[in-house]
Amino acid sequence: MKKTIALLVVMFVVTIACKKINKLCGCEPPIRVPDVNFAVINADGTDLLDDKKNGAFTPSKIQFYTKDASGQATPLQFSLKPPMIYGEKAFQYYSLYLPVNFLVNSVDKVFYLKLNKEYKLKAVMNTSKYNIDELLIDDKPLTKDDSELKRYANMYYISL
């Protein structure tokens, strides 16, 4: 009986101590990678990433890339996400998901999107470098989603 109580006390103390020591037991929050989502719509509000709609873009026709000083393009990995539901909130558009951790160390914070033509995207990042405060497309600000979705995703609308 004494051994069982001693074992339980030791386990309790170790559990409490774990929370006070940095980086020992996974008590730290996960590292957040900056990311951005794009919904591509036309003037009528039609989702241009939904392959069931006329004039939609397929993933094979979409490119994200950066350019070096000589103009050489380096492709960026992205994914196409279906419409999302977060709790009771629904987002009705397909979206392009792009991790933008490459921007943290970038000097000019520029990358490119090719749909039917090439678009230059420039990010204005905050001082912590893990959030995008503003995103410009061809030097014009993109509309950022300001609904409840902003708690879950960094969503911008590209209107064509």
CA distance 85 to 92: 9
Helices (H), the chain: 2-20
Residue with tokens 């730290």: 28
Q: How far apart are CA 97 and CA 153, in angstroms?
A: 10
Question: Average pLDDT for residues 3-26, to the nearest whole number?
Answer: 69
Residue 49: the pLDDT is: 94
The percentage of residues in the chain with a pLDDT greater than 90, rounded to a whole number, is: 35
Would you state the structure tokens that stand for residue 8, as one six-digit string? 């339980």
Measured CA to CA, the distance from residue 55 to residue 94 in angstroms comes to 14
Q: What is the pTM of this model?
A: 0.74
> Mind listing the pLDDT tens digit for each residue in 96-120?
999 888 777 777 889 999 998 999 9
Burial class (CB in 10 A: 0-12, 13-18, 19+), 156: buried
Domains belonging to the chain, first-starting first, are 1-30 (no CATH), 31-159 (2.60.40)
pLDDT tier, 146 (very low <50, low <70, confident <90, very high otherwise): confident
Instruction: Give the Å distances, CA to CA, from 103 to 82, 99, 107, 110, 129.
Output: 25, 9, 8, 8, 8
